[in-house]
């Protein structure tokens, strides 16, 4: 979908196409930032190139309407220099180490109407950008809330087939828990950290990211609060490739248990159960 189509459908500002009918002839000569990628990066010199290349490959033809912001989060390696090798990539330095500090710094520096939160060890799956735009450009049915966030699962590219099946089982269980909370208990929602897009108006409405949460539970917290102002949608149609470095280091059962308890704790008690985490930085595989 090209930028003229976004404008003609009135989806850039969330208003009806009729309001733009007298101005459409001039929109192609102006620059409106549509999609901002925010990538927190602490010592990610090894993984960052593949992430940036996957994004650049999907935004060709959208120059001027997309931006990539790498948040150098107190790195001690060449993360900053690696990011600056790529044309059009902006680097923001955030000296306060922590995922939410980095996400918030990137959000503050961005100008897009949509904020794509992507991790440095991730790679976009084919059609990722077009899926995002289609979701946010869709007409909102009468009586329904506007889309505040759109998210999907992680596909680990460096696991064995058996391990991938186990991860899929975990996601199915997580989705059933999410569905029960959302449709029956009417509490919270779910996004996958590193694979979610938020509407700027929604993120502004809730005051941005919760800086009191450093790592575990940050995605559950943002989903819970965004759910107060709009629809938060999780779908298996929006997949993201990522490394399994944490899963391999901590073990599948440990990681599944830790993420599950922090999801439930943050949903019901509005704070994570686990307050510390270990940074895992290894050379990429695959």
Over its length of 286 residues, how does the chain's per-residue pLDDT go in tens digits? Answer: 444 444 334 344 333 333 333 323 323 434 578 999 999 999 999 999 999 999 999 999 898 999 999 999 999 999 999 999 999 999 999 999 999 999 999 999 999 999 999 999 999 999 999 999 999 999 999 999 999 999 999 999 999 888 889 888 988 888 888 788 888 888 888 999 999 999 999 999 999 999 999 889 899 999 999 999 999 999 999 999 999 998 888 888 888 888 889 888 998 999 988 888 788 776 676 5
Alpha-carbon span 54 to 59, nearest angstrom: 9
154: Cβ contacts below 8 Å, ≥ 6 apart? 122, 167, 192, 194, 195, 239, 240, 241, 242
For each of the domains in the chain, give its residue range(s) and CATH number, in order of start: 33-138+145-269 (3.90.550.10)
φ, ψ of residue 182 in degrees (nearest 5)? -75, -45
- 250 vs 46, 170, 259, 279, CA distance in Å? 20, 16, 12, 11
- 252 vs 12, 165, 167, 258, CA distance in Å? 41, 12, 8, 10
Alpha-carbon span 185 to 119, nearest angstrom: 31
Polymer length of the chain = 286
């Amino acid at each position: 979908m090209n930028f003229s189509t976004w404008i003609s459908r009135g989806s850039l500002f969330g208003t009806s196409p009729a309001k733009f009918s007298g101005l459409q002839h001039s929109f192609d000569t102006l620059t409106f930032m549509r999609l901002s990628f925010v990538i927190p990066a602490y010592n990610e010199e090894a993984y960052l190139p593949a992430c940036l290349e996957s994004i650049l490959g999907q935004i060709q033809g959208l120059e001027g309407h997309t931006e990539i912001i790498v948040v150098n989060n107190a790195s001690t390696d060449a993360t900053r220099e690696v990011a600056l090798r790529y044309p059009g990539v902006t680097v923001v330095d955030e000296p306060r180490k922590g995922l939410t500090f980095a996400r918030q710094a990137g959000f503050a520096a961005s100008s897009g109407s949509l904020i794509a939160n992507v991790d440095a060890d991730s790679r976009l799956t084919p059609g990722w950008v077009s899926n995002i735009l289609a979701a946010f450009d869709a007409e909102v049915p009468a009586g329904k809330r506007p889309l505040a966030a759109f998210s999907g699962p992680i596909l680990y590219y460096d696991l064995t087939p058996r391990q991938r099946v186990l991860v899929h089982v975990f996601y199915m269980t997580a989705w059933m828990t999410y569905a029960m909370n959302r449709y029956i208990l009417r509490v919270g929602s779910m996004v996958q950290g590193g694979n979610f897009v938020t509407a700027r108006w929604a993120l502004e409405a809730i005051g941005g990211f919760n800086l009191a949460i450093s790592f575990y539970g940050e995605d559950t917290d943002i989903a819970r609060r965004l759910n107060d102002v709009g629809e938060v949608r999780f779908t298996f149609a929006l997949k993201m490739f990522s490394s399994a470095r944490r899963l391999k280091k901590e073990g599948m059962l440990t990681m599944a248990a830790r993420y599950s308890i922090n999801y439930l704790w943050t949903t019901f008690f509005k704070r994570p159960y686990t307050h510390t985490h270990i940074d895992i930085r290894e050379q990429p595989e695959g």
